[in-house]
A and B are shown apart, each in its own frame.
Chain A
Amino acid sequence: MRALVVDDSTAMRSVLRLIFKKAGFEVLEAANGYEALNKLTEDSTPVDLAVVDWNMPVMNGYELVTKIRSDERYNGMRIMMVTTESEISHIQSVLAKGANEYVMKPFTPDTIQEKLQILGLSAGA
């Protein structure tokens, strides 16, 4: 399974990379939505899960989700938001755009594992 981690913080990307590697994913990284779209088109191997921050320069997470969901090449991709954004109206707006799960920062590694279980993407039980 492949995950694309999209976050402008390198520290956060390395935390997430470790967690998703441990969960059995091959991990790609991008620093914003624009880079993420480039990564997706550069490489034709499908990405199973996009892990997306909200506030990023160049192209934010909300725009990225909108772009991914308007491109049928990515129909099978699941999207997990991982962000400090915690306003219910914002959460609802990105769910309406097609995000599948949502984790509010700060979080623990267990939290990610539990969300993967919800998405049916966890390697273990």
Chain B
Amino acid sequence: MGLGSVDFDYLRNLVRTHTAIVIDDGKEYLAEARLSPLLRKEGFSSVPELLQSMRVKSFSPLHRRVLDAMTNNETWFFRDLVPFEALRRKVIPEVIQTRGLSRRLNIWSAASSSGQEAYSTLILLHDNFPELNHWQVSILATDYSQAMVDRVKVGRYSQLEVNRGLPITALAKHFVQHGLEWEIAPRFRNMVDCRLMNLAETWPEFPEPDIIFLRNVLIYFDVQTKADILARVHRRLRPDGYLFLGGAETTMGLSDAFERVPFEKTAYYRPKGVNHVS
């Protein structure tokens, strides 16, 4: 049984209202694919039946689980590699210079998904910048999905996940094997503060980040939401901080508060109007 337009529109509105994610026309198959795995556990025999039952109820944990399932959580270690090269060769050496007195480094992985971005960053810092061992380094990992936040906390990855983007030496050095799963060393897990957070709603207070990763999440939002989030990122980021976006994302046409710093085939961003060391 296919998804009718009433059900599909209900789902799209729900998703947009709560997560700001825009689902385009003709993406009924996406809804089916994302929700089918939920059916049996939730006790429904089809996606339309699930949606019809949700429509007559007020917002419940079931709605929340459906929204979770509608988010695309794909991620992998050292995704796109070049941003991490920028971190290693430019950003962290600069930060070490400018924050040498406070010896504090705050990183925010916004839309962290299952945590590969946060843990890749910590592995990179540990393996390349031993001086940071004497610093207070912390990373805030936030996501809309409770399931993802829980995963970051646990720090366990399947064989398929550790295959993806993680140099084998890093796997051998920083993970403990538990059967078919691999768990990141406690040293790294303890540096991560995992929190539930919706980028489209009010943000809680958190330490002023030196570096923000906001990668592969703006693409799902409409222009107004992207612009609003970038404006808030600008207010939260340290004036001499750094912003990383996904490969298909840019501040262009959304915010003129950032300066684009090219690096190889990509770029990162910095707040305009500050005398940056370079």
Interface on A for B, CB 8 Å cutoff?
Answer: 86-88, 91-92, 95, 99, 101-104, 106-108, 110-111, 114, 117-118, 125
Contacts and interface: CB of A to CB of B under 8 A. Distances in A.
Nearest to B77: A114
Nearest to B175: A88
B159 A118 contact: no
Interface of B: 76, 78, 80-82, 159-160, 162-165, 167-169, 171-172, 177, 180, 265
A110 B82 CA distance: 16
B88 to A, nearest CB: 13
**Centre residue among B80, B82, B164 by max chain A CB count within 10 A:** B164
Contact of A110 (B159, B164, B168): B164
**Centre residue among A101, A102, A104, A114 by max chain B CB count within 10 A:** A114
| A contacts with B: majority SS | mixed
B76 A114 contact: yes
A108 B76 CA distance: 13
Nearest to B265: A125
Contact of A118 (B162, B167, B265): B167
29 contacts: A86-B159, A86-B177, A86-B180, A88-B172, A88-B177, A91-B168, A95-B168, A99-B168, A101-B167, A101-B168, A104-B159, A104-B162, A104-B163, A106-B160, A107-B160, A108-B160, A108-B164, A111-B163, A111-B164, A114-B76, A114-B164, A117-B81, A117-B165, A118-B78, A118-B81, A118-B165, A125-B80, A125-B82, A125-B265
